[in-house]
Amino acid sequence: KRLDDHEQEDRVRQHQIKRPWHREDADKPPVREPGNEKAPLKKGKLLTTPTRLLKLVLPLPIRVEKDKSNNSKDYARSISANDEIQPLALLIHPQQPLSYVERLIQAELPAVIEDGKEKIPNVYFRAEDTEGSSSEGTTQSELRHREETNQPSASAAASGDVETPPNVASFSGLGREGPEREHKEKNWVRWSSSTEMGDFIRDAARGREFAIEVEGYGIEMRVGVPSFNDRTYYMRMRLRKMTKQIEAMATLKHECDELAHRSAHRLAKGGFVLLSGWWGVVYYITFQTEYGWDLVEPVTYLAGLTTIMGGYLWFLYINRDLSYKAAMNITVSRRQNALYESRGFNIRKWESLVEEANSLRKEIKAVAVEYDVEWDETKLLGDEVKDVLDKEKKVKKRAAGDDDEEDGDDDKTSSKTENKKAEEKK
């Protein structure tokens, strides 16, 4: 008996209920909202993290699928391209070599079958080369004339890089923020896997992107190169936050330091007044009373000797140079500590902030040197905070130098003592 269309539709619907895998588009979700679909990642990214690590996001369009119909003895699977697969994220340190990144990428890829044998696919890293190293479209006579006259190429003159000689590699910190160039103008160079990631990024920053090629799959992934602003974004944010704290604490510290120096100077003036009073007492007793010089002479002698002995004992206690500067430094430092404690100034927090801020400045300057850009730290820090950081840095260096000199003197003294003992034994 032949079924009509209505009965046939009911029969198909019942089969779909009993066996859902027979349903059309069974591998798709029942509801697909076009607004929630994410566009596939066509280009990789090299992102900066709050730490020193770099986050490399690669759009690997490969997945391994089970293939039941494949009867080969090698593998029961097939490799196919998939543009909707989730990208791969890798954390890399700038000092790690490209071979480390190559191993990480190879661990995420299946082996390639070549001549019936497994082979791990090779990964190549390519970056844009400078104009001076390109030999396409330039004859030897033109290159010789350019070297003799010290003239740049036409493309270098058009881009404004007229100061770079033809045999000198040019660098730029623009990275992905640089101007877009046509494919004809790009001269790709493959880099050795022993190159550090930081050096590779620095050289690749002359262009907007670098390429990662996977051998055996015909895959070439383009990755945007981070610019100087990208590489130092989190460091500059942390430094800006510290600048506000240092600026607030610097005002209180400056007030305490001014009061401490005034107190030390007042104490020094008080010592002069005390000596003047002693001179007046000696003069009065000697010339204005009946006791005369016979009584004043031994008193002044004993008083002077007592002063010398007290100063020598104080020198032994502090174990420093017996000078006006050393005495003033001790007086000022003690007064400063007392004022810091009374006004709630945390000296340990101040020292840690200054040390970390100077460390961040050093790191940002190092990245600026790598990218060959000039970083104006005054715009970020301000003149006041910059002067404070430079002053604290000089004070720390001076203190470290004094400690080294003391250690050197101790070493010399100990070596002399050992030499004397050795001579006595002989």
Sheet with 123-128, strands from edge to edge, namely 188-191, 123-128, 209-214, 219-224
Residues 108 and 242 in one domain: no
Residues 239 and 296 in one domain: yes
Residues 337 and 215 in one domain: no
Helix (H, G, I), strand (E, B) or coil at 340: helix
pLDDT at 353: 92
pLDDT at 280: 93
Q: Is residue 157 part of a domain?
A: no
Residues 260 and 385 in one domain: yes
pLDDT at 124: 92
Nearest-CA neighbor of 375 among 197, 215, 231? Answer: 231
pLDDT at 55: 92
Tell which wins on pLDDT, 213 or 110: 213
The first and second tokens of residue 146, run together, are 């350019």
pLDDT at 294: 86
Which of 82-86, 128-132, 228-232, 271-275 has the largest mean confidence? Answer: 271-275
Q: What helix, strand, coil percent values describe the chain, rounded to 5?
A: 55, 15, 30
Mean pLDDT, rounded, for 297-313: 89
- Residue 413 in this model has a pLDDT that exceeds 80: no
Nearest-CA neighbor of 396 among 359, 362, 355, 357? Answer: 355
- Residue 380 in this model has a pLDDT that exceeds 50: yes
DSSP β-ladder status, 209-214 and 188-191 = unpaired
The first and second tokens of residue 272, run together, are 């002069």
Residues 292 and 213 in one domain: no
Tell which wins on pLDDT, 344 or 407: 344
CA 8 to CA 190: how far, in whole Å?
Answer: 63
- Of 227, 260, 295, the residue at which a domain comes to its end is 227
- Residue 128 in this model has a pLDDT that exceeds 60: yes
Measured between alpha carbons, how far is residue 416 from residues 51, 408, 411, 412 in Å? Answer: 49, 12, 9, 6
Tell which wins on pLDDT, 425 or 10: 10
Residues 273 and 387 in one domain: yes
Query: How long, in residues, is the chain?
Result: 426
The residue to which tokens 């005002």 are assigned: 251
Contact call for residues 46 and 54 (beta carbons, < 8 A): yes
Contact call for residues 47 and 55 (beta carbons, < 8 A): yes
Q: Is residue 161 part of a domain?
A: no
- Residue 256 in this model has a pLDDT that exceeds 50: yes
Mean pLDDT, rounded, for 337-345: 89
Residues 355 and 309 in one domain: yes
CA 178 to CA 127: how far, in whole Å?
Answer: 15
Measured between alpha carbons, how far is residue 234 from residues 51, 161, 229 in Å? Answer: 8, 30, 9
CA 164 to CA 112: how far, in whole Å?
Answer: 44
Q: Average pLDDT over the chain, rounded to whole?
A: 75
Please give the span between the terminal C-alpha atoms of the chain, in angstroms, as a whole number.
128
Tell which wins on pLDDT, 45 or 31: 45
Tell which wins on pLDDT, 281 or 31: 281
- Residue 139 in this model has a pLDDT that exceeds 70: no
Least confident range of 206-220, 225-239, 392-406: 392-406
CA 319 to CA 347: how far, in whole Å?
Answer: 24
CA 328 to CA 199: how far, in whole Å?
Answer: 50
Percent of the chain residues topping a pLDDT of 70: 64
Helix (H, G, I), strand (E, B) or coil at 92: strand
CB hemisphere CA count around 188 (13 angstroms) = 15
Mean pLDDT, rounded, for 202-210: 83
pLDDT at 24: 54
Q: Is residue 125 part of a domain?
A: yes
- Residue 188 in this model has a pLDDT that exceeds 60: yes
Contact call for residues 124 and 99 (beta carbons, < 8 A): no
Residues 243 and 262 in one domain: yes
- Residue 82 in this model has a pLDDT that exceeds 90: no
Q: Is residue 368 part of a domain?
A: yes
pLDDT at 155: 41
pLDDT at 391: 86
**φ and ψ at 51, to 5 degrees?**
-90, -175
Contact call for residues 260 and 339 (beta carbons, < 8 A): yes
Residues 186 and 249 in one domain: no
Q: Is residue 374 part of a domain?
A: yes
- Residue 72 in this model has a pLDDT that exceeds 90: no
CA 51 to CA 57: how far, in whole Å?
Answer: 17
Helices (H), 64-139: 98-107
Mean pLDDT, rounded, for 230-240: 90
- The domain of 350 spans 234-399
Tell which wins on pLDDT, 220 or 273: 273
Mean pLDDT, rounded, for 138-167: 48
**How many whole angstroms from its chain centre is CA 404?**
28
CA 211 to CA 399: how far, in whole Å?
Answer: 50
Tell which wins on pLDDT, 360 or 399: 360
Q: Is residue 201 part of a domain?
A: yes
Nearest-CA neighbor of 153 among 168, 132, 169? Answer: 132
Residues 221 and 320 in one domain: no
User: Exposure of 380 by Cβ count < 10 A (0-12 exposed, 13-18 middle, 19+ buried)?
Assistant: middle
Mean pLDDT, rounded, for 91-104: 92
Residues 173 and 266 in one domain: no
Q: Tell me: the pLDDT tens digits for 311-321? A: 888 778 877 76
The residue to which tokens 């005034």 are assigned: 262
pLDDT band at 119 (very low <50, low <70, confident <90, very high): confident
pLDDT band at 35 (very low <50, low <70, confident <90, very high): very low
Contact call for residues 104 and 90 (beta carbons, < 8 A): yes
- Residue 77 in this model has a pLDDT that exceeds 50: no
pLDDT at 132: 46
Helix (H, G, I), strand (E, B) or coil at 128: strand
- Of 212, 227, 242, the residue at which a domain comes to its end is 227
- Residue 110 in this model has a pLDDT that exceeds 90: no
**pTM for this structure?**
0.61
pLDDT at 273: 94
Task: For residue 370, give the DSSP letter.
Answer: H
- Residue 245 in this model has a pLDDT that exceeds 50: yes
How many domains is the chain built from? 2
Q: Is residue 138 part of a domain?
A: no
* Bridge partners for 97 per DSSP: 196
pLDDT at 369: 81
Residues 289 and 184 in one domain: no
pLDDT band at 107 (very low <50, low <70, confident <90, very high): confident
The total of other beta-carbon atoms located within 10 Å of residue 102's CB is 19
Nearest-CA neighbor of 46 among 238, 204, 237? Answer: 204
Nearest-CA neighbor of 129 among 69, 180, 209, 203? Answer: 203
Q: Is residue 187 part of a domain?
A: yes
